Structure 1
Amino acid sequence: MPEPYYLTTAISYPNGKPHIGHAYEAIAADVIARFKKAQGFDVRLVTGTDEHGLKMDKTARESGRDTLEFASEMSSYFRDMCATLHIDYSAFRRTTEAQHHAASVAIWEAMAAAGDLYLDRYEGWYSIRDEAFYDESELVEGEGGKKLSPQGTAVEWNVEESWFFRLSKYRDYLIELNESPGFLEPESRRNEVLAFLKGQELRDLSVSRTSFDWGVPVPGSPGHVMYVWVDALTTYLTGIGFPEREGEFDRFWPADLHLIGKDIVRFHTVYWPAFLKSAGLPAPKSVFGHGFLLHRGEKMSKSLGNVVDPLELAERFGVDQLRYFLLAEVPFGKDGGFSSEAIVTRCNAELANSFGNLAQRVLSMIFKNLEGELTPYARADVDEALHSAVNSAGTGDLTAAFEALDFSVGIEAWMRAVFACNQYVDEQAPWTLRKTDSERMRAVLLTLFEAVRNLAIAIRPVVPTSADRLLDQMGIPADERDYAALADAGWYERLVASGFRLSQPVGVFPRLELPDEDGA
């Protein structure tokens, strides 16, 4: 049985439509999932929407909508985003689902049984936008001396009866966990969390609210609903069958990776592991806090009017082109910028001109000069050298980088292999060989055929639709497109023996044009 691999995105808060940041995270998670599948893992990818909390209820009421009806509509936009961007998730979970309520109650009761919940009175600063409580020492001063959260959001003084979780009990455990190699990446996020844990005594955490009723009711405590982060984080368990403890859940928990934005790292590396420890469940194996996308150097906000719809970008430039650009352009874990000009420039240079043109030239010459026929051929030393370059950079280095979530580094290695192929074409000049040495021309073209196939398989997690369109034209069977196929020495001979003959090829990476009036 294949080894299991379980990863999640953050559970998106759908009080507005998806923006490019949601798309960025979903695309990265999908690439990881496809990459692990290509390696032979049995993968589960879970995403969804976090629909409870004061902010959601307030937004619905202000628009005159029933809260559940509003949540259902908004959640559908996130599901549509996933469909458009080819996010191949295993489960899309909504926190308003009955199974999720049962899971939330189960983890609450487990924490209560551990003696980690007690009833008291909460007085403190609360950010509706962040759905988070903040200590006085964490607040920053805004315009006119107004108190703001560390994220720059408005806070208000809140007083109400609340259930509390004994977070202080788990301080030593959380420090040890966050210091363990590989648990929290990148290093900058780890340093921030450890500074928080070591710099002060942990205060027990308010985990219920009585000022609104839009949430999972606290069992045995009328009038209380669970703090949204208890509820939302539990989605990672719901996605693999919890509270059932057999089958999917036993096989896939603990999660191999929570992929989240850097602004919610504390919830995932302090609160979540403590809840799990209290409930007798293991912590996730790793958490990665990626950076933000900046539009022309600015953080996007509705007030600035620079929020970008990812579906519009996908329609304008192509889904695979958008996926490729976001992972190639931004070192994963750091903030990065994007613009229409940058998308067009990179995708034209790398996908259209370099790889797309390489594939189209090679397949066209085989169709024209070899009548599309694939035959056995003898490799010269220069041909072996090209295959070594492709296998080393285009697959080996890419795989190592993707394993470390260094997507831009992996794609750069893949591009080195593409450049090596283009240099080989120029040096071997098959158009000249056609007149002087037809057998050598055949060997050159078929060497390139193999190289293009390997490059397409290697980059397939990033551009799955385009890669499959190319591999379809090349006669590569659908079940021979994973990374094990790259090590299969007999694939070419089988393809030759099948009698496959190449038809007139069609390009898969058209050149992009910048719109006359660019709004992105």
Structure 2
Amino acid sequence: MILLALSAKRTVSAFTAPSHRLLLPKWTQLYSYLGTTATSFDDGKRPFQITTPIYYVNDKPHIGHAYTSIACDVIARFMRLSGREVFFLSGTDEHGQKVEQTAKSKGMEPQEFVDSVSINFRDLLELLNISNDAFIRTTEDHHKRAVLALFDKMVENGYIYLDNYEGWYSVRDECFYTESELIDGKAPTGAEVEWVAKEESYFFKLSAFQDKLLEFYEQNPGFIAPESRRNEVVSFVKRGLKDLSVSRTSFKWGIPMKQDPNHIFYVWVDALTNYISALGYPETGGKYKTFWPAALHIVGKDILRFHAIYWPAFLMAADLPLPKRLFAHGWWTKDGQKISKSLGNVIDPVDLVKKYGVDQTRFFLMAEVSFGNDGDFSDKAMITKVNTNLANELGNLCQRTLSMVFKNCDKAVPTSVGPFTEADNALLASARELREKAAAEISVQAIHKYVELMVRIVWETNKYIDEMEPWSLKKTDPERMATVLYVIMEVLRHVGILYQPLIPEAANKILDALSVPKDERTFSHLDDAFRIKEGSVIPKPEGVFPRMEMPVEELVNQQS
């Protein structure tokens, strides 16, 4: 991902800043500012911007796009329910040589092609019940203005010069690689590479930021997560950074430079700017003032270097504050195999939703793997996990509790509630502690641990109901039966409210079944003042999670 500058640098009259100036005259003040804004990831109070990467439109969405979007959505919903002001951004990356080539192969103009593909990503977000506040496309005029403004600032500060490059280039990755990075003649990602002959290009002085980046990483150890990814980035930067080509002339599908229209911006200058162009940059009021620096960029591990090295350097070069945190998640395999078109095992998230349901898909992808690690998808694993945790444990708990209430308590929340026992108070205490524990896990993007907390409280409640046996108490102690049922309903109220970020549709069905008012479902309502109201009429219980059966083809595969 490093570009080789092969000829002597020369300044260009179109750029007024001298190319030899490597340090910003106000760097000390800027760096001090950056240190104060990015030392801690999140203060728990300020407005919260969270972003997916913008998805490249060369093909239709796959499981990786769904995974990133759901993770961001869980965090965004959690923050909103916590009372935070949130700006959740997603979108599509629509320029580049790969798009130009694909459009040509289909007999389409590039704009026509990206229009037809971008809508698939927007539709996927809607299908998955993703609550993004904005969807940006890099072909939009306001984004182009932001790219030009950012570049102008880098020029003004002396970080751009004209030169020539040549080297190995991967069209699929939209990235250059050095000879030492190639593995068996291919990019580290497995993509084919081609030798690009000497071509004029504008370069960004990335090498000037090596020490500044290392210093920033050291002062802000939480900037890159998980720690293993941070170590990779630090190690990469320590090996040395070379200047980066930021323009191309060999193809035309991109944003033209106003100083030199024969050049278009290299994809990463264009793409990364979306995080601020969506906030109105270069205007620095409004959304930009409210939300920048962003609280959290979530990306796949394959594009971490671009976000952890190029993006901070661009921002430093333009006198702009850096985002608070980058989190890189892992990749998915299918039945233990790498996912690829050639193997025919690509997982279409639309098909997953059709087969299993939206909330079931969201739950499995967040629950199955530690967020940050790689994960493996199989129909068997999904069906087993969803049936166990959702249908058998949560769904069955709701159904049997509410059926008993409906049948034995005049179709309403019990009114003859007696004093709570030690066991009652212990379970209620677990429910009351859930918000704080979940918030701690979400604050460090440990989404899988948040899911584990939710699964555990349901398991504890099932254990409680089995020990209390309210069906037996119906005959021996009706008041105690009513108390037990009330305790379970109150715990389920906490569960329903706290499950909304993960399984929003099902969680709200549970809250509807408990007759929790729609305006009492935020985390501020997880207080005894808003506990289940005795005597509230409840609807006839209906199942929330139907059990899933193994697809016929999966059963055949297992038997063969």
Q: How far, CA to CA, are the matches of 2:107 and 2:235 in structure 1?
A: 43
Q: Which residue of 2 aligns with 1:409?
A: 449
Q: How far, CA to CA, are the matches of 1:379 and 1:240 in structure 2?
A: 51
Return the letter of the residue paired with 2:545: F
Gap change, CA 1:376 and 1:269, over 3 Å in 2: farther
Alignment partner of 2:467 out of 427, 431, 436:
427
Contact residue 416 and residue 482 of structure 2 kept, 8 A: no
1:469 deviates by 1.3
Q: Which residue of 2 aligns with 1:144?
A: none
Q: How far, CA to CA, are the matches of 2:519 and 2:445 in structure 1?
A: 25
Q: How far, CA to CA, are the matches of 1:501 and 1:124 in structure 2?
A: 72
Alignment of 1:437-448 (within 5 A): 437-448=477-488
Deviations 1:54-86 (A, max 9, x none): 001001101111110110110000001000000
Q: Which residue of 2 aligns with 1:40?
A: 83
Return the letter of the residue paired with 2:547: R
Q: How far, CA to CA, are the matches of 1:135 and 1:190 in structure 2?
A: 22
Alignment partner of 2:214 out of 168, 175, 182:
175
Q: Which residue of 1 aligns with 2:389?
A: 350
Q: Secondary structure at the match of 2:313?
A: helix
Q: Which residue of 1 aligns with 2:420?
A: 379
Q: Which residue of 1 aligns with 2:275?
A: 236
Q: Which residue of 1 aligns with 2:21?
A: none
1:206 lines up with 2:206 in the alignment: no
Q: Which residue of 1 aligns with 2:439?
A: 399
Return the letter of the residue paired with 1:274: A
Q: Which residue of 2 aligns with 1:512?
A: 548
Q: Secondary structure at the match of 1:490?
A: helix
Contact residue 52 and residue 96 of structure 1 kept, 8 A: yes
1:297 lines up with 2:336 in the alignment: yes
Q: Secondary structure at the match of 1:25?
A: helix
1:477 lines up with 2:517 in the alignment: yes
Contact residue 395 and residue 414 of structure 1 kept, 8 A: no
1:397 deviates by 2.8
Deviations 1:23-74 (A, max 9, x none): 0010001001011111111011101000000001001101111110110110
Q: How far, CA to CA, are the matches of 2:437 and 2:389 in structure 1?
A: 18
Gap change, CA 1:119 and 1:376, over 3 Å in 2: farther
1:151 lines up with 2:151 in the alignment: no
1:205 deviates by 0.4
Q: Secondary structure at the match of 1:348?
A: helix
Q: Which residue of 2 aligns with 1:363?
A: 402
Q: How far, CA to CA, are the matches of 1:491 and 1:204 in structure 2?
A: 59
Q: Which residue of 2 aligns with 1:133?
A: 176
Contact residue 395 and residue 455 of structure 1 kept, 8 A: no
1:330 lines up with 2:369 in the alignment: yes
Q: Which residue of 2 aligns with 1:6?
A: 49
Q: How far, CA to CA, are the matches of 1:53 and 1:376 in structure 2?
A: 68
Q: How far, CA to CA, are the matches of 2:383 and 2:551 in structure 1?
A: 10
Q: How far, CA to CA, are the matches of 1:376 and 1:173 in structure 2?
A: 67
Return the letter of the residue paired with 2:543: G
Return the letter of the residue paired with 2:422: D
Q: Which residue of 1 aligns with 2:22?
A: none
Gap change, CA 1:518 and 1:239, over 3 Å in 2: farther
Alignment partner of 1:79 out of 107, 115, 122:
122
RMSD: 1.5
1:137 deviates by 2.1
Contact residue 301 and residue 328 of structure 2 kept, 8 A: yes
Alignment partner of 1:268 out of 301, 307, 315:
307
Alignment of 1:451-462 (within 5 A): 451-462=491-502
Q: Which residue of 2 aligns with 1:106?
A: 149
Q: How far, CA to CA, are the matches of 2:234 and 2:391 in structure 1?
A: 45
1:52 lines up with 2:95 in the alignment: yes
Q: How far, CA to CA, are the matches of 2:45 and 2:371 in structure 1?
A: 28
Q: How far, CA to CA, are the matches of 1:105 and 1:500 in structure 2?
A: 59
Q: How far, CA to CA, are the matches of 2:374 and 2:189 in structure 1?
A: 15
1:2 deviates by 6.6
Q: How far, CA to CA, are the matches of 1:168 and 1:389 in structure 2?
A: 53
Q: How far, CA to CA, are the matches of 2:305 and 2:200 in structure 1?
A: 24
Q: Which residue of 2 aligns with 1:164?
A: 203
Contact residue 93 and residue 235 of structure 1 kept, 8 A: yes
Q: Which residue of 1 aligns with 2:31?
A: none
Q: Secondary structure at the match of 1:28?
A: helix
Normalised TM-score (structure 2): 0.89
Q: Secondary structure at the match of 1:258?
A: strand
What residue ranges of structure 1 are gaps of 5+ in the alignment?
A: 142-146
Q: How far, CA to CA, are the matches of 1:175 and 1:27 in structure 2?
A: 32
Normalised TM-score (structure 1): 0.95
Q: Secondary structure at the match of 1:7?
A: strand
Q: How far, CA to CA, are the matches of 1:336 and 1:411 in structure 2?
A: 16
Alignment partner of 2:163 out of 108, 120, 125:
120
Contact residue 54 and residue 90 of structure 2 kept, 8 A: yes
Q: How far, CA to CA, are the matches of 2:349 and 2:398 in structure 1?
A: 28
1:181 deviates by 1.7
Q: How far, CA to CA, are the matches of 1:295 and 1:80 in structure 2?
A: 24
- Count of equivalent residues: 509
Q: Which segments of structure 1 move beyond 3 Å, counting only runs of 4 or more?
A: none
Q: How far, CA to CA, are the matches of 2:337 and 2:227 in structure 1?
A: 24
Deviations 1:446-492 (A, max 9, x none): 01110111111112100001101111121112222122211x22113
Q: How far, CA to CA, are the matches of 1:81 and 1:210 in structure 2?
A: 34
1:176 deviates by 1.8
Gap change, CA 1:125 and 1:376, over 3 Å in 2: farther
Q: Which residue of 2 aligns with 1:449?
A: 489
Q: How far, CA to CA, are the matches of 2:408 and 2:299 in structure 1?
A: 51
